[in-house]
Amino acid sequence: MGIFSKTEKNDFSYLKDRDIYLDGACQSLRPEPVINALNQYYKEFNSCGERVKYKWGKITDEKVNSTREKILDYLKLKKKDYFVSFTLNTTYGLNLILSQFDIKKAKIKNIVISDIEHNSPFLSSISFAKKYGIKRKVISRNKDGSINIKDIPKNAFVVLNAASNIDGRTLKNIKEVIKHVHESSGFIVIDAAQAMAHSKEILEKTEPDAICFSAHKMYAPSLGAMVVRKDFVKYIDTSFIGGGMVDDVDLESYLLSSENPDHLYTKFESGLQAWGEIIALGAAIDWLENLSKSAKKTLEENEQKIFNFFKENGTVGNIDIKKEDRDNSGKKLHLLNHEPTSTMSFYVDGLDSHLLGEALAGEGIMTRTGYFCVHYFLDHKMHFPPLIRISLGYQNTPEQIDKLLGELRKVI
């Protein structure tokens, strides 16, 4: 078993010794219990949810409902205030909200995002502003990931990530931001794509209008989910519509199932859903909730070890430093992070990140290279060269990190 024999409990034993997966910010690996839950659905009760009378369908309904509840429990939100709908991914959820939002009813005059947003909210905010002819404001994040609330205007629709996919910095003052937006007659949707797996504490008991995330970044199958405030739904003017969303249809009219307060989730669930994936997301939440302290400690130690390596052998905290002010000390390695997180991005002076990524891949080390869908900030605003991103997960052992750092040492 080589490298993996040293892990306390190995739910990733299907990996080969050589596989050092460091791309969890794109898509996590799936632990055995999650894969088993998906297989169990296919093999034992493969059925449509919410419409069949046979036993398999009842099992599906029970488990799908249980996943909805687990998500709310995971975020410490109340069923009386929020509901959960499933989608394809974070991008899809954000677009479902933005494209159906009734700005007149909501009296919205601005759309606001931050400069380090992923293309997913970045692009959808551009099209939202264009479609409605409203102002779009892009605000800067502070070093610690927080936002100056004074930068958020009144009557704004705000979309912010709870954790960045460049350096994992979190929206430290998330509760204050949400309160401010609501007190300023605005609405706020949180992009929790990166926060759900390793920074979920920041999301607990936060009460934005919606939270969108991707299950595939939290050890679950490919799937999206949205957690939506019940009182937000009145601003959604349904136009993306199909089977599963209506209780009755006449020649020119229909009755939306979401008129029933117990079926609000149907508002965003058009057509058949990914029942097996939803059920396996429930298994992923159980798995995350029951992780051992030592698994969490290993992840933290791995993060710290990488950060220390950059501190000793290069520079750190480059994310806010303009091109002309960047280090000229002759050091080659430059980490963008101010602090260790499970997502760390760097570049090497004089070395193409894509080539380095390929060289690392030759050693079985799987990283991401480029701008990670944050083109505006990384390329156009800060003028970084293409980067390498190391995104850690619970599958990574200390030995794997030593191997990575050994390879980086060769570079310097």
Ligand X SMILES: Cc1ncc(COP(=O)(O)O)c(C=O)c1O
Q: Which residues of the shown chain bind ligand X in the complex (CB under 6 A)?
A: 26, 89-91, 118, 120, 161, 165, 191, 193-194, 214
Work out how close the CB of 161 gets to ligand X at its nearest, in angstroms, rounded to a whole number: 4
- Which residues, listed in sequence order, are joined to residue 347 by a DSSP beta bridge? 334
Rank residues 167 and 191 by Cβ distance to ligand X and give the closer one. Answer: 191
Give CA–CA dist 411/400, Å, rounded.
Answer: 17
Helix (H) or strand (E) holding 20: strand 20-21
Rank residues 193 and 228 by Cβ distance to ligand X and give the closer one. Answer: 193
* Helix 119-132 vs helix 90-100: crossing angle, to nearest 10: 10
Name the residue among 284, 229, 274, 222 with its Cα closest to residue 89. 222
Work out how close the CB of 371 gets to ligand X at its nearest, in angstroms, rounded to a whole number: 12
Work out how close the CB of 8 gets to ligand X at its nearest, in angstroms, rounded to a whole number: 29
Work out how close the CB of 118 gets to ligand X at its nearest, in angstroms, rounded to a whole number: 4
DSSP-derived 3-state class of residue 79: coil
Q: Two tokens at 17?
A: 């010794």
Rank residues 27 and 155 by Cβ distance to ligand X and give the closer one. Answer: 27
Rounded alpha-carbon distances, angstroms, from residue 31 to 2, 224, 264, 291: 18, 18, 32, 11
Work out how close the CB of 29 gets to ligand X at its nearest, in angstroms, rounded to a whole number: 15
DSSP one-letter string for 287-308: HHHT--HHHHHHHHHHHHHHHH
Rank residues 106 and 192 by Cβ distance to ligand X and give the closer one. Answer: 192
Rank residues 41 and 371 by Cβ distance to ligand X and give the closer one. Answer: 371
Instruction: Sort strands 210-214 and 224-229 into parallel, antiparallel or unpaired.
Output: antiparallel
Rank residues 161 and 400 by Cβ distance to ligand X and give the closer one. Answer: 161
Work out how close the CB of 155 gets to ligand X at its nearest, in angstroms, rounded to a whole number: 25
Task: Report the residue count for the chain.
Answer: 412
DSSP one-letter string for 97-109: HHHHB-HHHHT--
Rank residues 30 and 118 by Cβ distance to ligand X and give the closer one. Answer: 118
Helix (H) or strand (E) holding 174: helix 174-183
Q: Two tokens at 390?
A: 């190391």
Work out how close the CB of 164 gets to ligand X at its nearest, in angstroms, rounded to a whole number: 6
